[in-house]
Amino acid sequence: MPVTDQTLSQQLGHTLSRTDFPALGEKYQGKVRDTYRQGDRLVLITTDRLSAFDHVLTTLPFKGDLLNTLASFWFKKTAHVVKNHVIDTPDPCVTVARRAAPFAIEFVVRGYLTGSLWRDYEAGRDPYGLKLPSGLKRDSKFPTPILTPSTKAPIGQHDEPLSESQVVERQLVSPRDWQRAKEAALGLFSEGTKQAGAQGLIFVDTKYEFGLIGDELVVIDEMHTPDSSRFWKAQGYEERLAKGESQVMLDKENLRQWLIAERGFSGQGTPPAIPDDVRVSLSQKYVAAYETITGTAFAPQIGNVAARIEKNLKAAKLI
C-alpha cells in the first residue's frame, strides 16, 4: 500500500533528532549521522535530521530508515567496484562499520549542469577550474561525468570547492590516493547511472567519501541517497530542458529550491522554520526515491525510533 501523508504526519512526533548510546563508544555528531567509535569499530546511526546549505533545519518522518536502508542497498550493489566499510545493519537506521582513515575531501561527481554548479556557471564563477564552454543550458548533460571535489567543513560552515590541482597541491590526499579515489568515484557513478536508468530515473550527481583501512581504499559514510545525490525522473527530461522548465526531482534539492523561493534563504543568517506540511511533503519525496530506486515498497512502522534502535542494538549484543 502507498505510504500516505496521514501516516507520515503521525510520525512527526516520533522523529529521531538525537541519540544517546554511550555504551557504543565515543560519539561524534554530524549533520545527519551520529557516529560511535570503539577501537576499530564504528556504529553509525542515521537520524531523521534534515540539513541544507550546511545547516540542520528540522527532522523528517522515517528519513533515517529510508537513507540508511537505501545506502545499504547501494553498498551491496557496488561492492564489486570498490570495497566499503559496512559490517552489518542491525536496524534500519544503524550501520556497523570498519573504521577507516577518511580523506579530508568530498568527491562530487556530476553528470549534469545543475544546482550549485549551474549557479556558479551563470554567475561567471569557475571554482573547480573546469573551463566550461559558454552557452550551456541549465540541466544539460555533460559529454562525460566530471569530478568537482570540495573540502569537508565543520557543521555550520560551508564546504570549499577545489580544483583537482589544488587537492594535490595542498596535500589533502596523496597523488596515488587521489587517482585511486577518482577512478572509484567515476566507477560508482557509472553503476548508479545504470541502476537509476533501469528504474526510469536520471542519476544527476552525487557525493562520495573515501578512506583507507591499511592501504585498502574503501567508500565510507553513505552512498547514492537523496541526501547525497540528485535524481530526476527521466520521462519528459528533454521536453523540460527545451522549455527551460525545472526537472522533476526526487531528492533534497526540493528543499533547497523551497528555501530559496519561499524564504529567500540560501545559507546566510538564521535558518527559517520548516512547516509540518513541508516536512511531510519532503518525506514523501524520500519515500518515492527509495521505492523507485530499489523497486520495493517501504513499510513504515509508526512509533518511537530510539526505543526500536535500542532494542535492536541489544539483540545484536552491541550494548
- Residue 113 forms part of a structural domain: no
- Residue 208 forms part of a structural domain: no
Can you tell me whether residue 282 is helix, strand or coil?
helix
Domain ranges, residue 290: 5-101+251-315
Query: What is the DSSP secondary-structure string of 261-276?
Result: HHH--SSSSSPPP--H
- CATH number, domain containing residue 50: 3.30.200.20
Q: Are 140 and 193 in contact (CB under 8 A)?
A: no
Where does the pLDDT of residue 130 fall: very low under 50, low under 70, confident under 90, or very high at 90 and above? Answer: very high
Asked if residue 158 has pLDDT above 80, the reply is no
**245-299 pLDDT, tens per residue?**
999 998 888 888 899 999 999 888 999 999 999 999 999 999 999 999 999 999 9
What per-residue string of b and e applies to 280-319 under the rule 16 or more CB within 10 Å gives b? bbbbbbbbbbbbbbbeeebebeeeebbebbbebbeeeebe
Quote the CA–CA distance of 252 and 285 in Å, as a whole number: 8
- Residue 267 forms part of a structural domain: yes
- Residue 228 forms part of a structural domain: no
Q: Outline where DSSP puts E strands in the chain.
A: 26-29, 33-38, 41-46, 49-52, 55-59, 86-91, 94-98, 101-102, 105-112, 141-147, 150-151, 201-213, 216-220, 229-233
Number of domains in the chain: 1
Quote the CA–CA distance of 35 and 66 in Å, as a whole number: 18
pLDDT mean over 110-119: 95
Q: What is the pLDDT of residue 157?
A: 64
- Residue 39 forms part of a structural domain: yes
- Residue 93 forms part of a structural domain: yes
pLDDT mean over 30-42: 96
Put simply, whether the predicted model's pTM sits higher than 0.85 gets the answer yes
Q: 68 is written with which cell numbers? A: 540508511
Q: What is the pLDDT of residue 228?
A: 92
Asked if residue 237 has pLDDT above 80, the reply is yes
Q: 27 is written with which cell numbers? A: 560519539
- Residue 117 forms part of a structural domain: no
The sign one gets for the Cα dihedral 14, 16, 17, 19 is: positive
Q: What residues contact residue 124 under an 8 Å CB cut-off, 6+ apart?
A: none
- Residue 172 forms part of a structural domain: no
Quote the CA–CA distance of 226 and 231 in Å, as a whole number: 7
User: Euclidean distance between the first and final Cα of the chain, in Å?
Assistant: 35
Asked if residue 156 has pLDDT above 80, the reply is no
Asked if residue 234 has pLDDT above 70, the reply is yes
